[in-house]
Each structure stands twice: as C-alpha cells, then as structure tokens.
Structure 1
Amino acid sequence: MEAMNQKMVMSLILLLFSALGVSAWTGEIHGRVVCDVCGDSSLGPEDHVLEGAEVAVLCITKSGEVLNYQAFTDAKGIYTVAETMPESDRWDACLARPISSFHEHCTHLGQGSPGVKFSYNHPSGRSHSVRTFIYRPVSVPTYCI
C-alpha cells in the first residue's frame, strides 16, 4: 500500500512539472541491511534482514544543492529514497551510509560498511542499487563457533 501511495505522489509531481513546462527527472536509490549473525562475512541460513535499520543518503545536485535523506528498512530489509525534481537539479553524486540498527542483538556495524560514495548518472526513472550494509552481534552465538 505504501509503495502504491509513493507511486501516486510521484505521478502527481511529474504531472505538475509537465504542466509548468519543466523537464522533470526522477531518481531512486535503494539497498539492503542484514545481520551477519556468525560474523563470518558470508550470508547463510542463520543470517537475517534487519527491519527498521536507519540509513542516511546525502546527495549533491547538478546545481550544487545538498539534499539529506533518511530512510528505514522495511520487513525485507530494504530501504528506498526517491525524488522527482527539475532535470537541471538532478542528483550528481551521493553517499549512502548506515546510521543504526534497532535490533537488540545485531548492533555492531560490520567491517567495510561505513558508507558508499557513488556518482548518480542514471536517466530519469532508473534506480541505483547500493551494496548491502552488514551489522553483526557484539558477541557471536556459540552455535557459530
């Protein structure tokens, strides 16, 4: 339902831009956040997605404006940031970084997950997939050893 509402809002914004004679551009950034339960850097059956994990996405537009987004993962561990704006203001470069995990046992940010910088040069309507962010438990369960 939420995805449907988001698509309806995006459609209305595109309609508004076209009515004003402005060339609209739409971009999307998404990724996953998971818990590596055994801390072995490989996803196995004991690992799980993290619902409610917070991710920040900072983007600089072609016109030099800095936009800061906050996203939370859904039940599938996926976060999404989307924006519709004039073509002249579209995203140029972005940084996605994990902020926090609210899962009581998986709160330690895994190695190599401080953030990801990337250029955003996709045409309107295309999305950019960010590599998975990994959290680990503070102490590894005994069944992993």
Structure 2
Amino acid sequence: MNWYRKQVLREKTEEGHIVPSMVFFHIPLQEYKKAYELYESGSSRVKYYFGSNEEKGKNKINCSPYPSKLFDTAKALGSTTGFFCGHDHYNNMSLEYQGMRLTYGMSIDYLAMPGIARDTKQRGATLITVRQDGSSAIRQIPLAR
C-alpha cells in the first residue's frame, strides 16, 4: 500500500491534480464478492454493466480470505476508477460498487481445468478505451467462431 499511495501522490504533485488510474491484478478483492452478493440480492448499491458469473464451484467469486486495504486506500486517494482481475475463468461481469468499477476480464484460457477447452461463452477480450480527459469506456469482445 505504501508504494501505491506514494505513486498516486507523486503523480498528483507532478501534474498538479489527481491523475486517473486503473489497477490490474489476478485474484479479485473481497469487494468483488460483496458487490456480487449485493447485485444478486437486487441492491441499488451496485450498478450492473455487463457479463455474468458462471464459475462452477460452490463460490461464484474466489477472492482471497485475507482482507486487503487496496479498495479503501484507492477510494481515499481518489485516483483509481477501476479494478480488473481474472482468476475465476468463467466470470466476466462488470459492476460498480462504492464508485469503483470492478471488472473481470474475459478468459483466453484453454487449459486451466478439465473441460474448459470446450467452453467458449466466457472466452474473448475486454477492450478499455481511455479518453483524453481520463474517463474510460469498458466493453467485452466475445470470441467469434
């Protein structure tokens, strides 16, 4: 967290304003699970953008059991607008929770688990278009066969 905080504050000092950023990592934060559970319950605290969570195990979101300070630190610093992860090969949902966009990238994997080579619904790419003003557009590009 110290490195992340230092980088955000350094950019703010150098540019004279908060520089919008995004964070990319493999395993989803616990907030992905919280947001998904709120979404499933019909809560208005979560905004749905696209996708689905089709993970076949008992857990639809396989996040770390250890809490992270990343989500709260990012909110407090005001720079990061979105988080992107993978890990759950059958998940490709994008939600907004507490002002943060939480997105699973589409899977490109053919070898992660038995049978996944035959599955194609989750396969494709995620296109992130960053505009000059720092805003962004995120959309899925499903695999075309």
TM-score relative to the length of structure 2: 0.31
The structure that is strand-richer by fraction is: 1
Instruction: Flag the structure with larger Rg.
Output: 1
* Structure having greater relative contact order (Cα 8 Å, sep ≥ 6): 1
